[in-house]
Amino acid sequence: MSRQDDRLQAQLWLDEPGRLSELLVRLADQLEAAVMPRPAVSRRSEPAVTLSESTAASLVAIVGTDRGGINEYRRLTDASPLDCRLVLDVLDRLQAEPEDGQLVLPVAVVSEFRGNVDEFARWARFQQRQEQTLPRSDALKTSIEFVDDELLVKTDGDGSLKLRGAVSIPMFLALWRAPGHRLSAQSFLDIDRSLSASGLERHSTRLCSKLQGVLLEVIRSGSGYVLRRCPRQGH
């Protein structure tokens, strides 16, 4: 593929990250299924797995000519959690010279790759849900609208506010999309792996204080949180 083709492919993934996610999940799944533990060479040797050269070639073929697109994707975005350097490193290792017909990969690299791909897949699903966000909730008598990098929250007869920031907006949207506007704490942590349980509590309290201006609130509900209209509002 030409450099222009690579850029077009990367732009497609920027617009639809689920496509890249599906590709890499398939690669990670088949890589895990193909490798075999490598007998330790010595007590100090790094834990490793092996796979045949032919199997490695079939894994590389999953990505095929899209490899250049991955490199361009890395250049175009810093918002994605995908570690493109790690992906390219794994592809390089799968194309390395075999040892006695077998390729050797450190267990740590395979594990890190699996974890990063899974994180990227969760993020891609979140991005897809964000694009499918309904603009109005009759239960909350509230509508929302994206205005540049802000989220306009407008309630019927109770005014409006603009939410800003990389924490408040995703947290509000997660509750907005959830059935009954109720979401478990673990679901929050799955959406944003950088959050801790204590951090989630602080952020929910901060978000609640912002929403008071439009008579909405976030409260604890069992093992999670719920977004609702303030009880003191009688209509």
**Domain final position from 78, 106, 131:** 131
Q: What is the DSSP string of the chain?
A: --HHHHHHHHHHHHH-HHHHHHHHHHHHHHHHHH-EEPPPSSTTSPPEEEEEHHHHHHHHHHHGGGHHHHHHHHHH-SSS---HHHHHHHHHHHTSPPBTTEEEEEHHHHHHHHHHHHHHHHHHHHHHHHHT--SEETTTTEEEEEETTEEEEEETTTEEEEE-STTHHHHHHHHHHSGGGEEEHHHHHHH-TT--HHHHHHHHHHHHHHHGGGTEEEEEETTEEEEEE-TT---
Q: Does 112 fall in a domain?
A: yes
**Could you tell me if 215 and 101 lie in one domain?**
no
Number of domains comprising the chain: 2
**Could you tell me if 115 and 201 lie in one domain?**
no
**Could you tell me if 148 and 221 lie in one domain?**
yes
Q: Give the CATH number, domain containing residue 187.
A: 1.10.10
Q: Please give the residue range of the domain that contains residue 33.
A: 3-131
Q: Does 187 fall in a domain?
A: yes
pLDDT (tens digit, 0 to 9) for every residue of the chain, 235 residues total? Answer: 688 888 889 988 988 899 999 999 999 999 999 999 887 665 666 889 999 999 999 999 999 888 999 999 998 888 789 999 999 999 999 999 998 889 999 999 999 999 999 999 998 887 777 666 788 999 999 999 988 778 899 999 889 999 988 778 888 988 998 889 998 988 887 766 667 778 888 889 999 999 998 999 999 988 899 999 998 644 4
**Domain final position from 131, 162, 177:** 131
Q: Does 190 fall in a domain?
A: yes
